[in-house]
Each structure stands twice: as C-alpha cells, then as structure tokens.
Amino acid sequence: MTIRVLKTLIAIEEHGTFSAAADAVFLTHAAVSQQMKGLEEEWGVKIFDRTKRTPELTSTGRALVARAREVVVAYDGILPSVLGESGLQGVLALGAVSTTLTGLVPMAISKLKIDYPRLNVSVVPGLTTTLVQQVERGALDLAIVSKPPFIPQKLNWLDVAEEPMEVLASIQADSDDPIHLLRTRPFIRFSRSAVVGAMIEQWLQDHNISVRESMELENLETISSMVLFNLGVSIAPKPSVSIMPPPLKHLPLPGPAPIKRLLGVVHRSDTVKSRAINEVYEKIVEAVRQPDPVLPWLQQIAADTQTQQS
C-alpha cells in the first residue's frame, strides 16, 4: 500500500467511477482497477461491491476512505510542519468563483509568488455550492466564494470584501434609470445556480420587477461583453478588484438597503496547510485594499524594460 493508492481510492469515492477517478489521478482504468484489487487482497476485505454494473463502495470501503483521508492529510502535512513558515512549498488547490478570476485571484497569487516562489497554486473555477463541497471533501484546500446561506460545521469562513450589486448597461442605453432599464431591456441573468444569482432573483421578486429574460450566464466577463454590445442589461456584483473593465454604465440598485455579495474564503478547520492558507488569505485581502491594482504592475514592467535596455 502506498499514499498514491490511497489517493486513488479517495478519487473513486469523489468521482463515482473507476474511469473518472483514473482521469483525476492520471492513470488508466486498468491501473486503477489493479490497484484496488491489490488493496483488497492486501487488507483481506471487500472494498467494492462488483455485482453491480458500476462497482460501489461497501460499508467497509466507505469507512476505509474516511481513514485514508486522514492518512493522506497527515502525509501532506509532514514537510510543512518541519520547514516552518519560511519553507512553504508544494501545491495549494484554490477554488474561485468566476467574478474573481480576472482580477483578485491573479493579483493575489502574483503577490504570493514574490514571498514564496516554491509555493504553487492551482486554480479551479466553479460555483459557490460546488466549491464549498469540494473544500469539505478535501479536494480543494480553500476557495474564494460568495458567502452561502449555510456553512458546513467543519469549515471556517474568512471575510474578504462586500461587493454591492449594480445594474450593468451599455453606454448606448438611452436611460440611467436602473428600474426603467430592467423593465424595458432584455435581461441577461446571472446564473440562478450561483449564490449571487439567487440573491438577484430574490431582489427582483421583492421589488416586483418583471424582466424580459434573454440569457442566463455564469461568467461576469461574458455577461459584461454581452452588455457592452447592447444585447441587454444585467445585475451583477461590483468586483472588489477589477482589471481594466469594459466601458459600461454601472448603476446602483435603488433602495435604502441595497443588496451586497459577501465575498470570502472557506477552508477546512482541520487542514494541515493552515500556514499556507493564511498567507493566501493575507494576499487576497491586500489585493482588495490596494487602491489602484493595475498601476504598480505597469510601473514595474516599465522599470524592468528600462533596466534591460540600459
């Protein structure tokens, strides 16, 4: 038995089939099957019920997966526990909602790499609900998400920023009245599968606003492009970090208490990567607080170019 075999076992439980697990751990289906048969023979227990078309974990198998997770977590934490703060290295799996991928995430990772060049961050995009589930299962180390209505008990939540909702409209739009635009223009909806989309839908219902829905999209960049070309209007959170956004009308939602999206970081409370997660969180907050996210990087590029030419 090796750590790699235990990770394969965990992948089968997470992905549901040997084939999907094989893709996740970069093995062939035959290699995964052989590893599992070898594990059953070594331990002398029945891990999978193979009488069904798709092998399923037995009760013993599910219990072994739970213990395998503990072993893998402990193994992954051996080196960081010895090296300490100055020796952060390896790979950190970061989930992120789409609204953070073009500004906040790259800036935070760039800042992190300056202090910890041996710490690599892999980025997994997704919706809040899916990302939270992946963090809970241990498939992700942390995720930047919209605060969900319920946070699982084993997870910790860290606030990052409040992002007010706003109406996005083309500069060609003939009105600056957000309610008028929502009622008269085609509506490009933020996916209702997302926490933000559900918030927007509830706001529309509370204000008795009927919209002419034309599209339902998950990506803020895509929504902004559709609005830019005057294909409709939308409601979306105002990103806390925005890198050269398209020229649009940004109209605040009316009312004494406009809705806001609370952006934050979620991670497991029992993680062995707490030091690395804290460093990532600090860089995320630093990026949010930076008044002009683009200018320092442009200045650094210009300085580097001038040095190379001289």
Domains and CATH numbers, the chain: 3-76 (1.10.10.10), 86-161+262-294 (3.40.190.10), 162-261 (3.40.190.10)
At 273 the pLDDT is 82
What is the average pLDDT across 113-121?
Answer: 87
* Statement: residue 304 has pLDDT above 80: no
Mean local confidence (pLDDT), 28-44: 89
Tell me: the pLDDT tens digits for 137-179? Answer: 888 999 999 999 899 988 999 999 999 999 999 999 989 999 9
Per-residue model confidence (pLDDT) at position 306: 65
pLDDT reported for residue 24: 78
pLDDT band per the 50, 70, 90 thresholds, residue 68: confident
Lowest mean pLDDT among 129-143, 200-214, 296-310: 296-310
Does the predicted TM-score (pTM) go above 0.85?
no
Q: N- to C-terminal Cα distance for the chain? A: 58
Instruction: Decide if pLDDT at 124 tops 90.
Output: yes
The string of pLDDT tens digits covering residues 242-265 is: 877 889 999 998 877 678 999 999
Question: What local confidence, expressed as pLDDT, does residue 87 receive?
Answer: 52
Q: Do you know the residue count of the chain?
A: 310
pLDDT at 212: 92
